[in-house]
Chains A and B, each alone.
Chain A
């Protein structure tokens, strides 16, 4: 197992190098002049020229790339051209907000999606099944920003007679008026660690709507995959054998159906975890959560090259690690994978 993990980790190195080159080129292929984006509306030609020289935007691409990689190998990701904050610090600041959100969104999607998919499959062909499939289709096609707006309207601001539903906040990670300390940056965890229960509860409430908005697409996908997998497995010979042996229905479901059906589901959850990081770009902006996603959003609009490059590389690395975790989990669920 250890060898497997080490080998997989070693394999991510060439992937990251390739990605860094692609990223470097892609960022520079974005339309617009970064120096002008930095200096704003009334930049003089001289100052544009100065900044271009300063950041080396006028040097040949390969030279810029090697300078960048050289610094990177020393752990220097550069700093934002907009605010002068080091990229590493920006990442550290934004990470807890995004991790919290992605975790809750995934939790929401998995905890709700797996049972829903399971029951839909077990009630195959019934109205419950049709409803679940239909609703999950809606979940995939509805745009995140629209859903976010709807959620805010109904569950935060409140409309007409449904005003009592409006109990959640619309923006931020915690009520501005709460003076809480944040030793880790994960607000819910911080509240628990410092025993400031109000703060933890408040941070949790700030997570609900964004997590639902972000988790809807993964939820819909998980429902459909689980349902399909369970249907598949239910038709297998070993399930029929188990039934013929007279095993209890619950035992069959737990030990034979669900366990075998989980394999594709785990893959899906893993892939969704990676996608959540990109989905967070929109969700965080709409809910003003100011994490990695919204920082990335600003970096794109302002052509902040160092932030763009650093963030996307880091996200790619996380994606690779998540996939590795999923592969390791395979072994836990399915001994056949472990053997091979």
Chain B
């Protein structure tokens, strides 16, 4: 009897809980819809975008990573931007520029209607203030892990005497001339990097921007770099909750197209699956680095997929420290054995392009006139026989647990290529390593590797940023010594103008194709995903994506 009454009570309680829960669910859904509507006073709504990590700092001069730059591109602008959808330079804060014939002097004509978020005017003095700020960094601020891009592109500072920056002069209020002491053909392109954004001189001084404390291995950024970034962009910095999100608000006095949305929020979600689920559940409006395997299901569920024009290269490298691979016939055989179309259809996102050389066709120096190696298994077998390598056994290194824009699913790419190589009689010994640091350690820092998968996404539109990075000197990754190629690259780097550089890089690309240090496989398409309510997002190959054109409908 007692037992019965207890179970009845329990059942009743359970029922009550269920009802309460269901009630919660209903009321909750209503609240959700209300909040999405923007809550009355907000007319343009909020755009929530998921990033894979927190920014390092809010002052882009102190950073070199994509997530810091993503936030910086909303707050700041540089002298030079990019043509929408391309990597080509376009006017931004400078309306036009002219470079002297010797490549040393560049005169920028500035926009006259620009002001910083703190109300200060943007003019030639502000430009020179920024250049002089970078040039006069000392001590800690010169370390590579803080000011990577300035150090790399201008090659030194005032007190090191090695830099190529000479001076900046304000000719009049809106004309500034930058003088270099050595020609640098990539100067204008480099100026589109967020690291060279124009920042408000008044705010830099007020918040002691360069007062970076600590020791070189223990850096403490200034208040400017963590709380007061002040630029000219369409969004004003509002708050940064470390590890959680950065909140930006519309800048109403923006000189260009004023943002449609009231707020932009960059939320940190490091796990790729978690980003997708957050989008599916309406917690975010969009995210970057969509896994190729998710593209179809997201599209089927009504989400929008936006592709960037590829500005990258995925390649199969061959380590010539391995005796068999030092024979060019073996390398040619491997090139002939690979069916790039099949690799793309089996392991890369739809829309990826076949690569014939180690740079995308948007970069100066890309030429159709290079030797290509058609997919031809018989030819591959022949070449192997000629080289006496019929029983070739090769170590094939590939990374696990990683997804890079140029290499979304390395395991699947490995499987595709492996079977193609085995089809021409090569025996493959697979060696898998965790991406960072083991894999990178092995393939770029040791000789213990055979053929391996790797790639690169360009920083900005510069030929040297592709082929120079790969083949500029003897490295453990490729294991060859080719003085002719090294000096050709060195020479091309020093040519004053882009026009003169282009033929030099075309020659270099032909030289590389004949030498076959590796097989360029593809230019995979990186994808972004958005909720159906989002429109106006302009994808850019170099991720120059500013959100003033984005709208989020209710």
Q: Report A's interface with B, CB cutoff 8 A.
A: 31-34, 36-43, 47-48, 50-51, 54-56, 76, 78-79, 81, 83-86, 89, 93-94, 97, 149, 152, 156-157, 164-167, 169-173, 175-179, 182, 198, 205, 285-288, 290-291, 294-295, 298, 301-303
Choose among B145, B214, B267, B445 the residue that contacts A33 (Cβ–Cβ < 8 A): B445
Q: Which of B219, B271, B444 contacts A84 (CB 8 A)?
A: B219
* Cβ–Cβ < 8 Å partners of B263 in chain A: 177
Q: Are A170 and B278 touching (Cβ within 8 A)?
A: yes
Ordered by A's residue number, 14 sampled pairs between the chains whose C-beta atoms are within 8 Å are: A33-B437, A37-B436, A39-B145, A84-B56, A84-B145, A152-B277, A156-B277, A170-B281, A171-B269, A175-B283, A177-B36, A205-B28, A290-B268, A302-B436
Q: Which of B57, B271, B437 contacts A32 (CB 8 A)?
A: B437
Alpha-carbon separation in the docked complex, A93 to B242 (Å): 7
Query: Do B436 and A286 touch across chains, with their CB atoms under 8 A apart?
Result: no
Considering the chains assembled together, what is the distance between the CA atoms of A152 and B277 in angstroms?
A: 8
Given contacts A33-B437, A36-B440, A290-B268, contact A83 B218 (CB under 8 A): no
Bound form: Cα–Cα A253–B270 in Å: 49
Kindly state the separation between the CA atoms of A177 and B438 in the bound complex, as whole angstroms.
39
Chain A residues with CB under 8 Å of B454's CB are 41
- Find out whether the CB atom of A36 lies under 8 angstroms from the CB atom of B25: no
Q: Is B245 an interface residue (CB 8 A)?
A: yes
Q: How far is the CB of A143 from chain B (nearest CB, A)?
A: 15
State A256–B252 Cα separation when bound (angstroms): 71
Q: Is the CB of A33 within 8 A of B441?
A: yes
* Contact of A172 (CB < 8 Å), options: B29, B267, B445: B267
CB <8 Å contact, B440 and A170: no
The winner among B35, B145, B284 for most chain A CB atoms within 10 A is B145
Which residues from A are CB-within-8-Å of B469? 42
Task: Report A293 CB to chain B, min CB distance, Å.
Answer: 12
Q: Contact between B441 and A36 (Cβ–Cβ < 8 Å)?
A: yes
Contact A93 to B216, CB < 8 A, known contacts A42-B456, A175-B283:
no
Chain A residue numbers with a CB within 8 Å of B145 are 38-39, 51, 84
A-facing residues in B378-431 (Cβ within 8 Å): none
**CA separation between A156 and B263, bound complex, in Å?**
25
> Shortest CB–CB separation between residue A145 and chain B, in angstroms?
9
What's the least CB distance linking B188 to chain A, in Å?
23
Contact among A167, A172, A179, A198 for B283, CB-based, below 8 A? A172
Q: B280 near A: Cβ within 8 Å?
A: yes
- A312 CB to nearest B CB, Å: 19
Residues of B within 8 A of A38 (CB): 145
Query: How many Å from the CB of B261 to the closest CB on chain A?
Result: 11
Chain B residues within an 8 Å CB radius of A149: 273
CB pair B281–A166 under 8 Å, yes or no, is yes
On whether the beta carbons of B243 and A167 are closer than 8 Å, the reply is no
Q: Which of B351-376 contact A (CB under 8 A)?
A: none
In the assembled complex, which residues on chain A have CB atoms less than 8 Å from the CB atom of B46? 176-177
Contact partners of B492 in chain A: CB under 8 A: none
Closest CB-CB distance, B363 to chain A, in whole Å? 17
Given contacts A36-B441, A84-B220, contact A176 B25 (CB under 8 A): no
Contact B245 A176 (CB under 8 A): yes
Residues of B within 8 A of A78 (CB): 217-218
Complex interface: chain B residues within 8 A of A79 (CB):
214, 217-220
Cβ contacts under 8 Å, B280 to chain A: 157, 170
Query: C-beta contact mask, B244-286 vs A, less than 8 Å → 1, else 0?
Result: 1101000000000000000101011111011101101101100
Shortest beta-carbon distance, B248 to chain A, in Å?
12
The CB with the most chain B CB atoms within 10 A, among A41, A165, A301, is that of A41
Question: Which secondary structure dominates chain B's binding surface?
Answer: mixed
The range of chain B's interface size is 35 or more
Closest to B39 in A: A177
Complex: chain B residue closest to A93, CB-CB: B242
- Whether B176 is near chain A, meaning CB under 8 Å from some CB there, is no
Most buried by A among B48, B278, B445: B278
Residues of A with C-beta under 8 A to B48: 176-177
Q: Which residues of B contact A85 (CB under 8 A)?
A: 242
Q: Of the candidates A40, A42, A94, A165, which one forms a contact with B243 in the assembled complex, judged by CB atoms under 8 Å apart? A: A94
- Within 8 Å CB of A285, what residues of B? 270-271, 274
**A50 vs B148: C-alpha distance when bound (angstroms):** 14
- B244 contacts across to A, CB distance below 8 A: 172-173, 290
Cβ A54 vs Cβ B269 within 8 A: no
Q: Using known A-B contacts A41-B440, A177-B46, determine if residue A172 contacts B265 with beta carbons closer than 8 Å.
A: no
Q: Select one of A50, A173, A205, A301 contacting B436, CB under 8 A.
A: A301
CB distance from B468 to the nearest CB of A (A): 11
Chain B residue numbers with a CB within 8 Å of A41 are 440, 444, 454, 456
- Smallest distance from the beta carbon of A271 to chain B beta carbons, Å? 28
Which residues of chain B have C-beta atoms less than 8 A from A47's C-beta?
A: 144
Further pairs besides A79-B214, A176-B265: 15, Cβ < 8 Å: A42-B469, A50-B144, A55-B217, A84-B146, A84-B221, A86-B220, A89-B242, A156-B281, A170-B280, A171-B269, A171-B277, A172-B245, A177-B263, A285-B270, A290-B270
B24 within 8 A of A: yes
In the assembled complex, the Cα of A295 lies from the Cα of B308 at a distance in Å of 30
| Chain B residues in 8 Å Cβ range of A171 | 50, 267, 269, 274-275, 277-278, 281, 283-284
In the bound complex, residues from chain B placing their C-beta under 8 Å from that of A179 are 247
Determine the distance from Cα of A202 to Cα of B469 in the docked complex, in whole angstroms: 48
CB A97 to nearest CB in B, in angstroms, measures 8
Contacts of B275 in A (CB 8 A): 171, 288
Chain A residues in 8 Å Cβ range of B283: 169-172, 175-176
Asked whether any CB of chain A lies closer than 8 Å to the CB of B554, the reply is: no
Interface string of B6-43 (1 = CB under 8 A from A): 00000000000000001011001101000110000000
Closest Cβ neighbor of A249 among chain B residues? B2
Q: State the Cβ distance, A45 to closest chain B Cβ, in Å.
A: 8
Q: Enumerate chain B residues within 8 angstroms of A169, measured Cβ to Cβ.
A: 278, 281, 283
User: Which residues of chain B have C-beta atoms less than 8 A from A172's C-beta?
Assistant: 244-245, 267, 269, 278, 283
Q: Is the CB of A167 within 8 A of B29?
A: yes
Does A170 lie within 8 Å of B277, measured CB to CB? yes
Asked if B24 and A167 sit within 8 Å, CB to CB, the answer is yes
Contacts A42-B469, A79-B214 hold; do A164 and B271 have CB atoms under 8 A apart? no
Q: How far is the CB of A318 from chain B (nearest CB, A)?
A: 19
Give the distance in Å from the alpha carbon of A111 to the alpha carbon of B49 in the complex.
Answer: 37
Instruction: Kindly list chain B residues whose C-beta atoms are within 8 Å of the C-beta of A165.
Output: 25
In the complex, B300 has a CB within 8 A of chain A: no
Q: Which 7 A-B pairs have the closest CB atoms?
A: A32-B437, A37-B437, A84-B219, A290-B243, A288-B269, A171-B278, A170-B277
Q: Which of B25, B219, B263, B440 has the most CB of A within 10 A?
A: B440
B545 at the binding interface (Cβ < 8 Å): no
Q: Which residue of B lies closest to A178 (CB)?
A: B35
Residues of B within 8 Å of A56, CB to CB, are 217
Residues of B within 8 Å of A205, CB to CB, are 28
Interface residue B241 (Cβ < 8 Å from any Cβ of A): yes
When distances are taken between beta carbons in the complex, the residues of chain B under 8 Å from A43 are 444
- A185 closest partner in B (C-beta): B241
Determine the distance from Cα of A136 to Cα of B102 in the docked complex, in whole angstroms. Answer: 78
Query: Which residues of chain A come closer than 8 Å to B456, judged between CB atoms?
Result: 41-42
